[in-house]
Amino acid sequence: MYSAQALAMLAELGISANELEARGLPEYSQAAILELAERGLDGREHFLGPAAAQAWRLMKEAARDDQVVLQMVSGFRSIERQKAIIERKLAKGQPLSQILAVSAPPCFSQHHTGQAVDIGTLGYPPLEVEFESTSAFAWLQRNAGQFGFSMPYAKNNRYDYSYEPWHWLHGEIAESI
């Protein structure tokens, strides 16, 4: 059963909770404790929970030792921010079905937990499937598991999200449906 907060936001956005439930989309809770995990080249600050931040730093360093650059494109994202993202897409006239294939509704993004990172590397546009052909992705496939990271949105994932080779999750997270 989804939380009252989630149900209220879904109703406001015109998203059917029943459809999300049928799709098996789990709700995630928002991280209580965050720390600065990385400052991007553009000065943007990316936050993660303490365990994920520590694991990220170690993984990034190990990659660097192998001449591989891992950059954080995004880390923690609040429920309010996720709502604003969906609202902006709706305002542009994008159909909901198209929006929800690539964006999670507010309360349903793994980025709320402070354990998810979107990873990029030099010379490639962020958040594009071509990330899978980078040496960074090959390195992650070989090594990310040692640092507790996995790739939840593989091809044909159980959440019915598009393939996201850039999205990695640290540790286990509590999911409620």
**Cα–Cα–Cα angle for 103, 151, 44, rounded to 5 degrees:** 60
- Which residue from 37, 104, 113, 118 is in contact with Zn ion, where contact means CB under 5 A? 118
Q: Residue number with the shortest CB distance to Zn ion?
A: 167
63 vs 110, beta carbon nearer Zn ion: 110
CA distances from 32 to 5, 47, 129, 145 (A): 16, 12, 31, 25
Closest CB 33 distance from Zn ion, rounded Å: 20
Q: Is 46 in the site for Zn ion (CB under 5 A)?
A: no
Measure CA of the first residue to CA of the last residue in the chain; give whole Å: 5
Q: Which positions from 151 to 170 touch Zn ion by CB under 5 A, shown as an x/- string?
A: ----------------x---
Min CB(55)–Zn ion separation in Å: 16
13 within 8 A of 95, measured Cβ to Cβ: no
- The first and second tokens of residue 90, run together, are 């709706």
Which parts of this chain interact with Zn ion (CB under 5 A)? 118, 167
